[in-house]
């Protein structure tokens, strides 16, 4: 009898798991639509969404309360204002209270009449023109953000300035050089040699451009061309200060999809997924449009270009979570769960999306693959440095005289990027610090820029390559304000999956707000975050704070490298 009951429970669990697998990938979209129709909290509408998908209420309540876009109150007019690093540096965060006054509503609230709601987000991808906000899906940038008195029109958001510094762009081949996409995939799939694609990428030495820098060919090989393999294009990485992914998805989505198709082919995957940040509504629309055209032109479908290669590609929308750019958290999001990091092993290449082998490459990584396959891995390997080959998009923030995205070879001096490409700071302002590699990357002093743009070179100076966003701070921003901003980001964006990061980031914010000289408690906090955090998010907080202390001349006990 006990065996029968146990078998019955297992069958029920398996049935629930299969049902969750079918409905889970639709869950976030259903929740997002329900969120737009009410100003009530998730507890009032999420269970009904779960019921409609034949899921338990908890399956919907978890993500609805976790993701910022779903948990935030919504009015009939929903405004998202950027509080990310570049927008903060533009006016030391003073744009936030101004937007609140102009809209008549505080951040995180809905106006009494339900007409307007205001949500603070960490990056909108307008770091070159901040501060910025999204009014529905309409971006606004510059000093006059929100609709104010009659007759004053808010400034429209300018397109991303982009330029090549290599002479033969890889990533900007379409956006700057006008090179058409879809020139490589038809020939590759018709040739019937997926191993050839893998060999060229291996010869190129291409590493992932999302921050960790793993060799792309090694990640592809780890999936082993196993049946059911999935390749995910990660467009949900939102490092404040970087807008490279938004640039590529908006200006050249076909190249991103061609890189995804080649990656699927090399990995033996019949399914590709593109996850795009909800904060990038135009990029989301462009990617969906490009996927539709790719099917119409025979690039995707049950018989790509008349071959026996089948490839289905879909586009999914993020829901507002920085940590969901981490690959295990991204997989959790695609499964309709909270976007929390998961312990490894097992690695996604063995057990990823719905336990299938899953390869996650970010958008910039995939955009380089067509160039590599067309011109050969050896040609790509001759660029950059012997240890870190190829090119990289570097994004310069609004404080620069010439902000924008520049394609450079890895190994280019950061001083050259800041002075020759960026032109120094605008209006002749004196720089105080440069943040490199994202919100938890690291800070460099103006006199410490003689460092190559490589993972190893920047790590030796306490910074990080990351997405290679460079945010300039001028003398108007107080060091204590920058420190508090770093901890505010950490506390707000910690996914909460592990207590060292969840509790430690909040404690760090409390210490930063209290002021005073750091001491033994800071030292203990640094050790716990570095040694016990589940993912790189928590482990990167102490090095970022240490680098900030070095730049501003502080040598607090326990925070020296």
269 phi and psi angles, rounded to 5 deg:
-90, 140
Can you give the three-state secondary structure of 460-499, one letter per residue?
CCCCCCCCCEEEEEECCCCHHHHHHHHHHHHHHHCCCCCH
pLDDT, position 561? 39
Task: Give CA–CA dist 483/278, Å, rounded.
Answer: 28
Per-residue burial over 198-207, b if 16 or more Cβ lie within 10 Å, else e, is bbbbbbbbbb
CA distances from 543 to 20, 241, 441, 529, 540 (A): 40, 18, 8, 10, 6
> For 324-377, how does the pLDDT look when each residue is reduced to its tens digit (9 = 90+)?
888 999 999 999 999 998 988 999 999 999 999 999 999 999 999 999 999 999
Instruction: Please tell me what DSSP assigns to residue 448.
Output: G
> For 48-102, how does the pLDDT look when each residue is reduced to its tens digit (9 = 90+)?
999 999 899 999 999 999 999 999 989 999 999 999 999 999 998 999 999 999 8
What's the angle, vertex CA 324, arms to CA 318 and CA 328, rounded to 5? 125
Tell me, rounded to whole angstroms, the distance of Cα 235 from its chain centroid: 6
pLDDT, position 119? 95
pLDDT, position 395? 97
pLDDT, position 536? 86
Tell me, rounded to whole angstroms, the distance of Cα 356 from its chain centroid: 23
Positions in the chain short of pLDDT 70 = 1-22, 146-155, 516-518, 554-561
Q: Where are the extended beta strands (E) located within 401-482? A: 404-409, 431-436, 443-444, 469-474
pLDDT, position 238? 79
Task: Give CA–CA dist 229/213, Å, rounded.
Answer: 22
Which residues fall within 8 angstroms of residue 428, CB to CB, at 6 or more apart? none
pTM (2 decimals)?
A: 0.93
CA distances from 420 to 398, 403, 413, 423 (A): 16, 12, 10, 5
159 phi and psi angles, rounded to 5 deg:
-65, 165
* Residue tagged 């999809």 (tokens): 257
59 phi and psi angles, rounded to 5 deg:
-65, -30
Task: Give CA–CA dist 498/295, Å, rounded.
Answer: 42
pLDDT, position 146? 64
């Amino acid at each position: 009898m006990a065996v029968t009951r146990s078998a019955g429970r297992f069958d029920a669990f398996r049935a629930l798991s299969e049902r969750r697998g079918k409905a889970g990938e639709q869950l976030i979209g259903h929740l997002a639509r329900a969120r737009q129709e009410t100003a009530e909290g998730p507890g009032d509408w999420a269970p009904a969404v779960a019921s409609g998908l034949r899921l338990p209420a908890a399956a919907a309540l978890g993500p609805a309360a976790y993701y910022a876009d779903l948990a935030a109150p919504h009015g009939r007019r929903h405004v998202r204002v950027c509080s990310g690093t570049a927008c903060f540096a533009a006016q030391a965060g003073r744009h936030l209270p101004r937007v609140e006054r102009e809209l008549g509503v505080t951040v995180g609230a809905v106006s009494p009449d339900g007409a307007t709601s205001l949500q603070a987000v960490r990056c909108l991808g307008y770091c070159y023109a901040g501060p910025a906000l999204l009014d529905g899906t309409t971006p606004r940038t510059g000093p006059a953000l929100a609709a104010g008195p009659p007759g004053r029109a808010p400034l429209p958001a300018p397109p991303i300035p982009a330029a090549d510094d290599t002479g033969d762009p890889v990533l900007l081949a379409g956006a700057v050089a006008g090179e058409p996409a879809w020139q490589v995939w038809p020939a590759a799939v018709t040739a019937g040699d997926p191993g050839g694609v893998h060999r060229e990428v291996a010869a190129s030495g291409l590493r992932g451009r999302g921050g960790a820098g793993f060799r792309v060919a090694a990640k592809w090989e780890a999936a082993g061309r196993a049946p059911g393999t999935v390749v995910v294009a990660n467009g949900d990485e939102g490092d404040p200060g970087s807008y490279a992914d938004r640039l590529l998805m908006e200006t050249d989505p076909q190249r991103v999809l061609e890189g995804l198709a080649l990656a699927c082919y090399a990995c033996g995957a019949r399914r590709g997924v593109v996850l795009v940040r909800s904060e990038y509504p135009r990029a989301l629309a462009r990617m969906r449009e490009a996927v539709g055209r790719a099917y119409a032109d025979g690039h995707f479908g049950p018989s790509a270009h008349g071959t026996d290669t089948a490839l289905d590609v879909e586009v999914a929308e993020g829901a507002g979570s920085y940590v969901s750019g981490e690959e295990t958290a991204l997989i959790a999001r695609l499964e309709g769960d909270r976007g929390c990091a998961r312990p490894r092993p097992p690695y996604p290449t063995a057990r990823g999306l719905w336990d299938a082998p899953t390869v996650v490459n970010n958008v910039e990584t995939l955009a380089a693959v067509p160039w590599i396959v067309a011109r050969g891995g050896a040609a790509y390997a001759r660029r950059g440095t012997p240890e870190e080959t190829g090119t990289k998009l570097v994004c310069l923030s609004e404080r620069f005289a010439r902000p924008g995205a520049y394609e450079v070879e890895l190994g280019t001096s950061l001083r050259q990027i800041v002075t020759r490409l960026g032109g120094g700071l605008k209006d002749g302002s004196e720089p105080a610090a440069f943040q490199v590699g994202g919100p938890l990357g690291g800070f460099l002093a103006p006199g410490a820029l003689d460092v190559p743009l490589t993972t190893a070179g920047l790590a030796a100076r306490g910074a990080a390559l990351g997405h290679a966003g460079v945010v300039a701070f001028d003398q108007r921003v107080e060091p204590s304000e920058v420190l508090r901003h770093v901890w505010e980001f950490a506390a707000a964006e910690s996914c909460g999956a592990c207590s060292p990061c969840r509790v430690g980031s909040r404690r760090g914010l409390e210490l930063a707000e209290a002021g005073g000289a750091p001491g033994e408690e800071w030292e203990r906090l640094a050790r716990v975050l570095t040694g016990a955090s589940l993912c790189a998010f928590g482990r990167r907080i102490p090095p970022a704070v240490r680098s900030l202390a070095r730049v501003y001349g502080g040598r607090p006990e326990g925070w020296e490298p």
